[in-house]
Structure 1
Amino acid sequence: MRSDGVTIRRAVVEDGPQLAVIDHEAWSWAGDVMPRPAKDGEYFNERRAPEQILVAESDGLVVGYIRQVPPTPLDSNQHIRQIQGFAVLPTARGCGIGALLLDAAVEAARADGIRRVTLRVLGWNVHARRLYDRAGFSVDGVLPGEFHLDGEYVDDVLMGLSLLDRD
């Protein structure tokens, strides 16, 4: 699979079952703090809605997604979008799909007048951190040993990208 045959689009309710499969298949302690989700679980709920999500589709199959939302319901930080969900099927990794999704999310935020995009990533998730670095995100702070996962204490790395700094 190559990223040149991938379409990025807004999610629809019908994508829910495939998004649940992606969450199940892509899960690992390298990037997740919650237990592995069920393959046949409900993806959309009162906290996760299709309009928050961009999906990557290849040959009619959703192979990845990125979700961004305001970090809180407060009016005072509605100018921020936080990435709170990002996964690519393991069989589709290494093809540039993650970069396409991240770029699309940043451009969607910019089009909505958002000033900054933030995210949290586990310190030991070097692949994701490299992707964010290449996209222009920088480390805003580190919460040392914030999570105890798979027998180890892991840092929570806070990263951000100012949309005012880019053309």
Structure 2
Amino acid sequence: MIVPEIPIREARAADEPALAELDRTTWSSLHAVMPPPEAGQPFYDERHRPEHYLVAELGGAVVGYVRLVPPTPLACNAHVRQIQGLAVAGSARGRGVARALLRAAAARARAQGAVRLTLRVLGHNAPARALYEAEGFTVEGVLPGEFLLDGAYVDDILMGRSLTG
């Protein structure tokens, strides 16, 4: 699939209000296991820093983000990067923003020396799973019933892809 040119850049400290608002407006139990973020809650903290995020812009406005980090601080795991968050504003959905963010994350991971890219997705999030599969991710593990969301047990799906092929 051809993705239209969508400006992607590293997040900046000044993006915090826009990212916090995006996080609040896109929250759903379809993809989140944490409670919804509250108004006024900071987006960045010591574990979630601007350099961990790539943002997508349309018309000069932040419309999406992906968080890309090493999965652990261990040297033996330094060849892997993990996507730990992806959000796209409702107004920008269907325009290739998530796909562009995933591709930018893969490029950034390669530039950082990674040879694998992993993520976790909730089993009931069929649209996200389809997107990840279309971008080369495969299911590498399933934790059945790992989360209780909205009164139902939901699988935690572990997905990954090589960055060398």
TM range (shorter): over 0.9
Aligned equivalent of 2:155: 155
> Is this contact kept in 2: 1:117–1:163, CA < 8 A?
yes
> Is this contact kept in 2: 1:20–1:38, CA < 8 A?
no
User: SS at the partner of 1:76?
Assistant: helix
Partners of 2:148 and 2:42 in 1: CA distance:
27
Code of the aligned partner of 1:126: A
Give the aligned CA root-mean-square deviation in angstroms.
1.1
Is structure 2 residue 80 aligned with structure 1 residue 80? yes
Partners of 2:149 and 2:99 in 1: CA distance:
26
Shift of 1:4: 3.7
Code of the aligned partner of 2:52: Q
Mapping 1:57-68, distance limit 5 Å: 57-68=57-68
When the two structures are superposed, what TM-score results if normalisation uses the length of structure 1? 0.94
Partners of 1:4 and 1:145 in 2: CA distance:
37
Aligned equivalent of 2:32: 32
Gaps of 5+ in 2: none
Aligned length: 163
When the two structures are superposed, what TM-score results if normalisation uses the length of structure 2? 0.95
Aligned equivalent of 1:10: 10
Mapping 1:39-54, distance limit 5 Å: 39-54=39-54
Partners of 1:111 and 1:51 in 2: CA distance:
14
Percent sequence identity over aligned pairs: 55
Gaps of 5+ in 1: none
Post-superposition Cα deviations, 1:79-121, rounded to whole Å, max 9, x if no partner, equal 1001011100112111110000000000111112101000000
Shift of 1:5: 5.8
Code of the aligned partner of 2:8: I
Partners of 1:39 and 1:28 in 2: CA distance:
15
Code of the aligned partner of 2:107: E
